[in-house]
Structures are given as C-alpha cells and as structure tokens.
C-alpha cells in the first residue's frame, strides 16, 4: 500500500505518518528518511504536517484518552467534498461574528468544538504558514534531512582557475582537475574532494580542520599551504610548504603520517608504496607559475600533463622505446615550441592539427 501523500492535509490524515511523528522508531525513521531523500521537494510539507500534529496533541491541547480516540476517528473518516463544504459552512459564520446556536447535546458539542479545533489549526497552518516558520523540532524526532547541494569546480583541459572558498581558503586548481564539497556541511565540517591537482592556502581555524579527500587519501590541516597531485591511476603526492598536515591512508588503522614544511609524501597507485622525502619547491609549484617541468618524467605522465595544459589529444603512430622518460623546463611556451624542444631529446616528430597532435617516434 502506498503510505505517502505529497500534501500537508494528506500527511496529517496518513496513519503511518502520524505514528512516525508521535511514536518514532528506527524503522519508521528510515522509511520517512528514504521518502525525503527521494522526494526532497516535499521537505517543507512534511515539516509543516509534523508540526501540525504535534500542536494538536501537545500540552497546549490537553485531551483525555477517549477524546484522542474520537478525534482520530473523526480525522480518519473518508469525507466527500460536499461533507467538507458543510463542515466549513459551520465555521465561516463563526469567524464573521454570527451567533452560534447552542448544541443540542454533549455529543453535538464535542463534534463541533473538537472539529473546530482541528479545522482551525489546519486553516491557520495552511493559510498563514505560521507553523512552518518554527525552527525547532521536537526532541523525540530526528532532524529532517535537507537536500544535498554539491558545489563543484571543474576545469577542462587547457583551463586553470583560482578559487576562494567560503571560509577564506584560496585554491589554485590545475587544468583537467575538479574540486567539490557539500555546501550544507562545509560551514561545520571543512571537507573537500579533489581529483587532479591543486594548491591550497588554508584559512586558519583551530576549531574546524580542513580536509582534502583525494584518491582515498585524506590530508588534514588547520592553517597551511600545500600542493596535492592526485590524478587517476598515477602516484599521488602531497607537498607541504608551510604549517603542518596529517596524512591518513586507506586501511591504515587510523595511523596518521605527519609532514613538516618542505617535506613531501609520495603514494603509489596501489596505496601501499609510500615514501617520504624533501622536494624542490620550484618544480612542485611550477604549474602555478606557467612553467612545465619534466624531470625524468614517465612518458604517460608527461603526455597527460600536456593534454591538460594545452587542451589537446595526443595520438601515437608507433610505440616509443621501452622506458622512455622526458626531461625539460618550459616557461609559458606554445605547444609547438615545447614539442620542438622535446623532439631533439626524445627523438620524435609531430604534427598539430587544431586540438589533435600526432606523434611519431624515431626508431
């Protein structure tokens, strides 16, 4: 049976919804959490209906057990449109100041008085929305989850960007890289997710550490500057310039590695091979200064860097010699000039046609 209804009135009339509001349980919480996660536009309706039920059955409206039962019976009755019009016809004259006839019996008085109580709360809450403006929720119910809003910065190949986050942290995001975080959580927990490469200058906040999640590796800092390179299927590298960071590897039993300034950690694609060493700041931050540095760099990594840097795709007409690495330093050079420089040391020929580059290695 479908227990869901997307209107406030339907939710109030829904027995499963009332059971969740008045007698929450883990199973009921999961049921309605799942409903809200798949229907985020109904969050306000659910909150309003829940407030309405709690107002009706709070201490503000003390009821006896017999009255509870009679009210629920009244609410659960399937009334027709004509019945509803008749009931509201009794209510409208009262609001206009007309004299109400004395009930003929105690039962009639109960029906009019308590239906008026229910109808009044419905009219006020639906018409004026005053219950929806209340910010606090009952302690006996769990907080209604808000829709998740992801903030995503995505740089296509050939594009670099400078980003200022809401906490004051500055990020330089390399080409072919993306950075994201959950907006709702960021004010309380500064967690971001990186794929590719970025340089961080973290705003100091001792109560909220800043954590970068990249390729399963967590780098946490307070007020620090560091560079992270974490491209898919390549070794990952965290290089610390100032301050301190802690590194948490997957399956590390919560053991953390602390870095000091000018130290870098290199993590293999398998997350098992790990090495700690000093680094050349000029080489690590070269990309932030419009400079490409290849220092005995593997061919695959060099090609990935060039494709991201210039926004092109490489195609090989033949295979290079086994173990070919590239070396060279190029500051703000065009792709043609860079490949011309590599052609002598790597023994290659190239043809550039728009965003496609054809490479042939000399045998």
Confidence class of residue 143 from pLDDT cuts 50, 70 and 90?
A: low
| DSSP alpha helix (H) spans, 172-280 | 183-186
Q: Is 279 helix (H, G, I), strand (E, B) or coil?
A: coil
Residue 51: name the closest of 12, 7, 6, 5 by CA. Answer: 12
Read off the DSSP letter of residue 70. H
More confident residue, 255 or 73: 255
For residues 340-354, average pLDDT: 89
More confident residue, 147 or 324: 324
Supply the mean pLDDT for the chain: 76
Domains of the chain by start residue, with CATH = 8-133 (no CATH), 150-283 (2.60.120.1440), 290-361 (3.55.50.30)
Separation CA 140–CA 28 (nearest Å): 13
Which CA distances in Å does 105 have to 74, 100, 117?
18, 14, 18
What pLDDT is stored for residue 51 in this prediction? 74
Is-contact 244 221, C-beta < 8 A? Answer: yes
Separation CA 281–CA 275 (nearest Å): 17
HSE on the CB side for 341, CA within 13 Å?
14
For residues 327-351, average pLDDT: 90
Residue linked to tokens 């059955």? 57
Confidence class of residue 44 from pLDDT cuts 50, 70 and 90?
A: confident
Confidence class of residue 100 from pLDDT cuts 50, 70 and 90?
A: very low
For residues 273-299, average pLDDT: 91
Select the highest-mean-pLDDT range: 27-31, 48-52, 359-363.
359-363
Separation CA 263–CA 175 (nearest Å): 24
* Angle made by CA atoms 171, 189, 51, in degrees to the nearest 5: 130
**Of 12-26, 115-129, 143-157, minimum mean pLDDT range:** 115-129
What pLDDT is stored for residue 77 in this prediction? 54
Is-contact 176 198, C-beta < 8 A? Answer: no
**171-215, pLDDT tens digit by residue?**
999 999 999 999 888 888 999 999 999 999 999 998 899 999 998
More confident residue, 35 or 4: 35
Residue linked to tokens 């109560």? 207
Q: Is 148 helix (H, G, I), strand (E, B) or coil?
A: coil
Read off the DSSP letter of residue 147. P
Which stretches does DSSP call E strand in the chain? 150-154, 161-164, 170-173, 178-182, 190-201, 210-214, 217-221, 225-230, 236-242, 245-248, 256-259, 263-267, 274-278, 291-298, 313-316, 325-331, 348-353, 356-361
What pLDDT is stored for residue 55 in this prediction? 63
Is-contact 286 303, C-beta < 8 A? Answer: no
For residues 301-327, average pLDDT: 90
**Of 145-154, 234-243, 270-279, minimum mean pLDDT range:** 145-154
What pLDDT is stored for residue 219 in this prediction? 94
HSE on the CB side for 49, CA within 13 Å?
24
What pLDDT is stored for residue 251 in this prediction? 73
What pLDDT is stored for residue 101 in this prediction? 44
Q: Is 170 helix (H, G, I), strand (E, B) or coil?
A: strand
Separation CA 274–CA 251 (nearest Å): 13
């Amino acid at each position: 049976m479908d227990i869901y209804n997307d209107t406030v009135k339907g939710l109030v009339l829904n027995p499963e919804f009332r059971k969740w509001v008045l007698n929450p349980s883990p199973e009921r919480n999961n049921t309605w959490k799942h409903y809200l996660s798949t229907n985020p536009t109904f969050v306000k309706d659910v909150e309003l209906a829940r407030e309405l039920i709690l107002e009706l059955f709070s201490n503000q409206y003390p009821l006896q057990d017999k009255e509870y039962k009679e009210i629920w019976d009244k609410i659960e009755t399937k009334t027709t449109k004509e019945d509803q019009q008749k009931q509201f016809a009794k209510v409208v004259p009262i609001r206009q100041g007309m004299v109400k006839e004395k009930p003929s019996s105690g039962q009639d008085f109960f029906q009019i008085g308590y239906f008026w109580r229910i109808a009044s709360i419905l009219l006020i809450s639906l018409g004026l929305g005053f219950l929806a403006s209340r910010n606090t929720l009952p302690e006996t119910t769990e907080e209604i989850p808000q829709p998740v809003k992801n903030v995503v910065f995505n740089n296509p190949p050939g594009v670099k960007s400078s980003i200022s986050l809401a906490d004051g942290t500055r990020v330089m995001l390399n080409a072919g890289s993306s950075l994201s975080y959950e907006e709702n959580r960021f004010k309380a927990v500064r967690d971001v997710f990186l794929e590719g490469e970025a340089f961080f200058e973290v705003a100091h906040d001792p109560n909220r550490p800043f954590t970068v999640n990249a390729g399963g590796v967590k780098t946490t800092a307070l007020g620090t500057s560091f560079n992270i390179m974490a491209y898919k299927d390549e070794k990952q590298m965290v290089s610390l310039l100032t301050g301190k960071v802690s590194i948490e590897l997957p399956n590390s039993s919560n053991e953390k590695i602390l870095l000091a300034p000018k130290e870098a950690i290199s993590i293999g694609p398998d997350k098992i091979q790990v090495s700690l060493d000093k680094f050349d700041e000029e080489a690590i931050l070269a990309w932030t200064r419009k400079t490409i540095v290849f220092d005995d760099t593997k061919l695959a990594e060099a090609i990935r860097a060039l494709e991201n840097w210039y926004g092109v795709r490489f195609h090989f007409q033949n295979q290079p010699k086994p173990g070919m690495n590239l070396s060279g330093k190029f500051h703000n050079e065009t792709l043609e000039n860079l490949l011309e420089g590599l052609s002598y040391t790597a023994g290659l020929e190239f043809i550039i046609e728009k965003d496609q580059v054809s490479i042939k290695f000399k045998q």
